[in-house]
Amino acid sequence: MPLTDAIHDALHAAGFTAAIRTTRTLSADTHQQVIALTLDDSSSLVTKLTPHDSGDRLHAEADSLSALSKPGILLVPRVHALRDTDTHTALLMDQLEPASDADDGTWARFGRDLAAHHQATPTAPFGWHRNNFLGRTPQPNADSDDWVDFNATSRIGCQVELAKIHGHLTARESEPLQRVIDRLQDLIPRHPAPALIHGDLWSGNAIATVDPDTNTPRIAVIDPAVSIGDPWADIAMMQLFGGFPKPCLDAYILANPDHDRLESRIGVYQLYHMLNHLNIFGTSYKHAALSIAHQLLAI
């Protein structure tokens, strides 16, 4: 089935009847294409397309976006359709309108909204009802009542094993990482207040956009990898890879009263993401991962 048929199938499933006026490729690689669509009725949409055998990635993303949107606090692109064809899987969403005038107040509001979202989401077992993906890496989410055990197996431990399998870590290099796993009970709480976390909240996944309801600047979140976990895991990622504006982080810290052992908690959660980057991009991230491990062992 041609690629354009997959797009039309998703549009039809979502109830769009206007013809496609223009298409524009936003990004493309061997795993996924992201295409902006403008219809004759001026609807602006984005479709993500993967080969059919990789379609679980988009099923997981649609599930994550729907979950983040349910509390009604964060601005999340609306999912219109998720369709499997013989050759492709297509995820159809609203396109975000960029805002060029997002100021400190806009970012501070996002910090407060994120804290409110974390405090409003379900108190369920840690994990999620399905496995999903952190970037290209499978992310296991088996339910657990123990956050320490969950991180030892489904987060840090899983990434260390992947790095060893991929040849990114020798047995000797993995030793400090194993010592961190053995000490997790001293570094993170066993039972933090559970929250539905975005899971991959780096700066590229928080977009300054125009709120369609108020026509004012607002921050929207995209490309989540959700699970129920410690809300500070989102903040840990927000402090990596370019970071977020200070007013955003300050507003979040003020709105979240739980400040227990933040240095070690954030370090553990950043180690998870650094190991994931090691597994995706290779050994250029090895030094950073091991450096975080040694810092944690010194606490």
One of 63, 113, 200, 234 is an active-site residue; which one?
Answer: 200
**Can 200 be counted among the known catalytic residues?**
yes
Nearest to 267 by CA among 247, 289, 252: 289
Cα(109)–Cα(264) distance, rounded to whole angstroms?
26
Catalytic residues: 200
